[in-house]
Chain A
Amino acid sequence: MQPMTTEQIRVLIARGKLKDTIFQAIGIICLAVGLLVIFLLVSDMLMRGLDRLNLAFFTEFASRRASQSGILSAWVGTVLVMFVTALAAVPLGVAAGIYLEEYAKRNWITDIIEINITNLAAVPSIVYGLLSLGIFVYAFGFGQSILSAGLTLALLILPIVIVSTREAIRAIPAMIREGSMAVGATRWQTCRYHIIPYAMPGILTGVIIGLARAIGETAPIITIGALTFIAFLPPVPFSATGVEGVSAGLFDWVMSPFTVMPIQIFNWTSRPDPAFEVNAAAAGFVLMGMVLSMNAIAIYLRYRMRKNIKW
């Protein structure tokens, strides 16, 4: 082979560098597409829905007339369902995470639980809807209620809460446990007074990300048969019901029919009348606001945590 001249080598290097530059440009373009999609989506929904984004939109029920429709039952439903979801998913997920990190022995039962959690994270969300249609709605008789929906979403985000709890616990050095046990604390006391408080920011981040995911989930809630048109609110505890002299119990709202933000949006986008698109845009903007701000809080928390932790 002929040895290359300096000139030829320079050409070769220049060509290699050019390819690097071109690839970098492609990479930046791909990233920009992601950013562009977010920007396009938010600005389109804002421009289309701006007229409807006033106070009345939040205090009116859905209506047959697009211009008088609001999201009152939808946002109340979303808040209540999220409350049930958090109440179920947080204790269960944190307890499961603590068990797997602090208590579980290395045996086949633990292996099954771990493999199972990994696989559950890959199960399509609509399958959770079918599960809860069969179990919560019919077998347990909860019906198409806030309780069924909240528990469905709790099961859906359980893997997220468990994994983030485990990661937060794993970051705590062993000397903390040793110190606690050396002064006579039991395993649970060590968890209660040391592990859980120190893991709290990490757990919180996971919970927020999980809830942000749950708030936008539509398919499982449609599958359990949530209604798309609701013009009333769940009963407020101890308020008067229609029946004379009977007031609603503390937990009556849990069994109430409901609708949530994503279902309301779906309902409005699937109507042929374009006037409802404006409502869908406005409601979509509100939902995006909820989800993005929850995600932003989680990202900020994680950033703070990474800076503050010094063992």
Chain B
Amino acid sequence: MSANNASDLHQVSDRLAHNAMRHFSERLIEALLFAAAAVSVLTTVGIVYVLVSESIQFFQHVSIVDFLTDTQWTPLFDDAHYGIMVLISGTLVSSGVALLVAIPMGTVIAIYLSEFANGKVREVAKPVLELLGGIPTIVFGYFALLIVTPLLQKVLPELPGFSLLSAGLVMGIMIVPYIASLSEDAMRAVPMSMREGSYAMGATKLYTAIHVVVPAAISGLAASYILGISRAVGETMILAVAAGMQPNLTWNPMEPAATITSYIVQVALGDLPHGSIGYQTIFAAGLTLLLVTLAFNIAGQWLRRRYREAY
């Protein structure tokens, strides 16, 4: 026994060394994986830093009051005006048109798929919706400009070649899949027993859907609408292609107008020197856009908490 002691000890210390090595590499890998997860936080920090720091420089030239109340947006002219309301009006009108299409259509499709359709219809419909949601927005822009606008001009002859209306309509079609699939998920999560209770009282499917399932899933529906609004407000290419890019303070969807996003595209296509005031305007516009979407998201989370039904 005693003769083997030395080599036994040797083995044990080998194993301990191996263990320590293993321990070290495990820790290293965990640190690397954590770093990867932290990239997403860094992205947010980067977004806020870039937008805020460039905007601060912008607001040293332009007062916030002018920015919010001026009724002209002509940052690239000699007589420069910086009234963001001009761009916000275009954004709100086009988003409004889009939501007037997307919310009813998306909700009806969701109710139909979750309450009426059988498995086979659903198996076909969901991939179709997914494909619709996957179409690149630039292709939707082409669709709005070269197909929808000419069609609309047959009904409304006075419609100009670029308009918020046709861009908004196509944007609505683009958003339908998001609203439909999220709303359907929310309605399918409503327990079957609630529907059965309603059927047992003699209610029809439609009555059950509208008076039992929809109220029970209302927080999920609200969340899907909020996501739709975020998409509409942040949508860029459809508007850049089909809504024209002239700044125009208007609440009439029949007119062409620039939005926050299409203004950024317009400036980026030009050749503004880094650090000029024109260059800084796009960051101020971007910050406004981020704040608008953030406001909708916070409202959405509040709504969800306020009306959440737990089963």
Contact = CB atoms under 8 A, between A and B. Distances in A.
Nearest to B28: A188
A155 B289 contact: no
Given A120-B44, A218-B236, A266-B138, A134 B39 contact: no
Interface of A: prevailing SS: helix
Interface string A40-53: 11001100000000
Given A99-B33, A127-B286, A266-B240, A186 B26 contact: yes
B241 A269 contact: yes
Interface stretch (B45-53, B62-70, B77-85, B211-219): B45-53
Interface string B14-27: 00000000100110
Contact of A130 (B30, B177, B274, B282): B282
A231 interface: no
B33 A295 contact: no
Contacts of A295: 130-131, 134
Contacts of B40: 96, 113, 116-117, 120, 158-159, 162
Interface residues on A, range: 35 or more
Contacts of A124: 230, 233-236, 261, 289-290, 293
A191 to B, nearest CB: 8
A37 interface: yes
Contacts of B22: 186
B290 A123 contact: yes
Interface of B: 22, 25-26, 29-30, 32-34, 36-41, 43-44, 46-47, 49-51, 53-54, 105, 108-109, 111-113, 116-117, 125, 127-132, 134-139, 141-143, 145-147, 173, 176-177, 204-207, 227, 230, 233-237, 240-241, 261, 264-265, 268-269, 274, 282-283, 286, 289-290, 293, 297
Contact of B127 (A16, A30, A299): A299
Given A116-B41, A126-B264, A262-B136, A24 B237 contact: no
A229 to B, nearest CB: 11
Interface string A278-311: 0011001001100110011001000000000000
Contacts, number: 256
B172 to A, nearest CB: 10
Contacts of A104: 37
Given A113-B37, A188-B25, A33 B283 contact: no
B137 A218 contact: yes
Nearest to A16: B204
B1 to A, nearest CB: 28
A134 B283 contact: yes
A125 interface: yes
Interface of A: 16-17, 19-20, 23-24, 26-28, 30-31, 33-35, 37-38, 40-41, 44-45, 91-93, 95-96, 98-100, 103-104, 112-113, 116-117, 119-120, 122-131, 133-135, 138, 155, 158-159, 162, 186-188, 209, 212-213, 215-219, 222-225, 228, 262, 265-266, 269-270, 277, 280-281, 284, 287-288, 291-292, 295-296, 299
Given A95-B33, A218-B136, A222-B268, A20 B39 contact: no
B293 A123 contact: yes
Given A33-B105, A134-B50, 4 more contacts: A34-B176, A95-B36, A96-B36, A120-B40
Contacts of A209: 134
A131 B46 contact: yes
